[in-house]
C-alpha cells in the first residue's frame, strides 16, 4: 500500500482540529442546519430501515459496502510520475573526439622527430668487426633489464621464469581487480601493481646502462666513467 505524504497528513490533522474547535464553540447547537434538511435526513433513514437489503447478486461488479461504487484514488508521490532524465555518463565517442586527438598527437610526434633528426645525427658507430667484440658488449637499452637479470640468476630463471611470471600477472590483473571505475584513486591495486612492474624493470635498465663497465662488471659511473652507447 502506498504511503500517504506527510503534507497531506498534516493538512488532514489541521482540518480535524479546526472542526473540533468549531464544534466546541457551538456547544452542540444544530441551528445552523435547516430544519427541512433534518426532516429529509430522518425520513431517508427510516425508509432505509423499512426497505429490505438487496441481495448481493444484484450489486454491480466491483461495488463496495452498501452498494457504493466510489473508490478512493491512491496518493502517488510526485517523483514517481515525473520524467527522470538519465544521469550523465563519463564517456566520449571514439569518432571523432578520440581519434582526432590521437591523429593530431601522432602528427606532432612525427614533426618533432623529423626536426630533431634534422639537427642531431644518429649515434651510429663504424661497421662491425666480427674479429673484435666491443667491451663491454651491451644489448639495446630495452633489453638491458633482461641482460642484467642474466648476471644474477640462471638463464632459465632470468630469461623464462621471471619474465613469464610478470606477463602472467599482468594478464590476470584485470580479472582480479574488476572495478569498472576509470579514476586512478579508485584503482589502487592496478596502479600499485603497474608501478612496481615499471620500477622493477626501470631499475634493471638503469643499472645495466650506467653501472656496468668492461666485462659487464659493476662500476660507479662518477669514478670510472659511463660505458653506455645508444
Does the pLDDT value for residue 212 go beyond 60?
Answer: yes
Q: How far apart, in whole angstroms, are the C-alpha atoms of residue 225 and residue 213?
A: 8
DSSP 62-94: T--GGG----PPPP--HHHHS-PPPPP-----I
Looking at mean pLDDT, say which of 4-18, 106-120, 124-138, 170-184 comes out highest: 106-120
Q: How far apart, in whole angstroms, are the C-alpha atoms of residue 34 and residue 11?
A: 29
Q: How far apart, in whole angstroms, are the C-alpha atoms of residue 201 and residue 170?
A: 14
Looking at residues 172-197, what average pLDDT do you find?
A: 86
Picking from 187, 194, 228, the residue whose alpha carbon sits closest to that of residue 211 is: 228
Whether 193 is covered by a domain: the verdict is: yes
Place 61 in a pLDDT band, splitting at 50, 70 and 90.
low
Does the pLDDT value for residue 115 go beyond 90?
Answer: yes
Whether 43 is covered by a domain: the verdict is: no
Q: How far apart, in whole angstroms, are the C-alpha atoms of residue 56 and residue 63?
A: 10
Whether 19 is covered by a domain: the verdict is: no
- More confident of the two residues 229 and 203: 203
Whether 88 is covered by a domain: the verdict is: no
Looking at residues 38-54, what average pLDDT do you find?
A: 64
Picking from 156, 154, 167, the residue whose alpha carbon sits closest to that of residue 201 is: 167
Looking at residues 176-200, what average pLDDT do you find?
A: 87
Place 30 in a pLDDT band, splitting at 50, 70 and 90.
very low
Residue range(s) defining the domain that contains residue 208: 138-230
Percent of the chain exceeding pLDDT 70 equals 71
Say which CATH number the domain at 148 has. 1.10.287
Whether 170 is covered by a domain: the verdict is: yes
Whether 161 is covered by a domain: the verdict is: yes
Whether 143 is covered by a domain: the verdict is: yes
Picking from 201, 202, 173, 171, the residue whose alpha carbon sits closest to that of residue 189 is: 173
Instruction: Provide the number of structural domains found in the chain.
Output: 1
Whether 151 is covered by a domain: the verdict is: yes
- Tell me if the bond preceding 189 is cis, omega within 30° of 0: no
Q: How far apart, in whole angstroms, are the C-alpha atoms of residue 59 and residue 64?
A: 9
Amino acid at each position: 500500500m502506498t504511503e500517504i505524504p506527510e503534507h497531506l497528513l498534516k493538512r488532514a490533522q489541521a482540518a480535524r482540529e479546526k472542526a473540533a474547535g468549531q464544534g466546541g464553540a457551538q456547544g452542540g447547537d444544530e441551528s445552523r442546519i435547516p430544519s427541512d434538511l433534518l426532516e429529509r435526513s430522518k425520513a431517508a433513514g427510516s425508509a432505509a430501515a423499512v426497505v429490505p437489503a438487496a441481495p448481493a447478486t444484484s450489486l454491480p461488479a466491483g461495488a463496495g459496502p452498501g452498494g457504493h461504487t466510489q473508490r478512493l484514488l491512491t496518493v502517488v508521490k510526485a517523483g514517481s510520475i515525473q520524467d527522470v532524465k538519465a544521469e550523465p555518463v563519463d564517456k566520449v565517442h571514439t569518432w571523432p573526439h578520440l581519434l582526432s586527438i590521437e591523429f593530431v598527437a601522432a602528427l606532432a610526434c612525427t614533426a618533432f622527430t623529423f626536426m630533431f633528426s634534422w639537427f642531431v645525427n644518429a649515434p651510429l658507430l663504424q661497421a662491425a668487426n666480427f674479429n673484435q667484440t666491443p667491451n663491454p658488449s651491451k644489448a639495446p637499452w630495452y633489453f638491458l633489464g633482461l641482460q642484467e637479470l642474466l648476471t644474477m640468476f640462471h638463464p632459465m630463471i632470468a630469461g623464462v621464469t621471471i619474465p613469464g611470471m610478470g606477463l602472467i600477472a599482468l594478464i590476470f590483473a584485470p580479472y582480479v581487480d574488476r572495478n569498472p571505475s576509470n579514476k586512478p584513486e579508485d584503482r589502487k591495486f592496478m596502479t600499485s601493481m603497474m608501478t612496481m612492474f615499471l620500477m622493477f624493470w626501470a631499475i634493471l635498465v638503469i643499472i645495466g646502462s650506467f653501472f656496468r663497465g668492461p666485462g659487464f662488471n659493476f662500476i660507479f659511473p662518477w669514478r670510472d666513467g659511463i660505458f653506455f652507447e645508444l
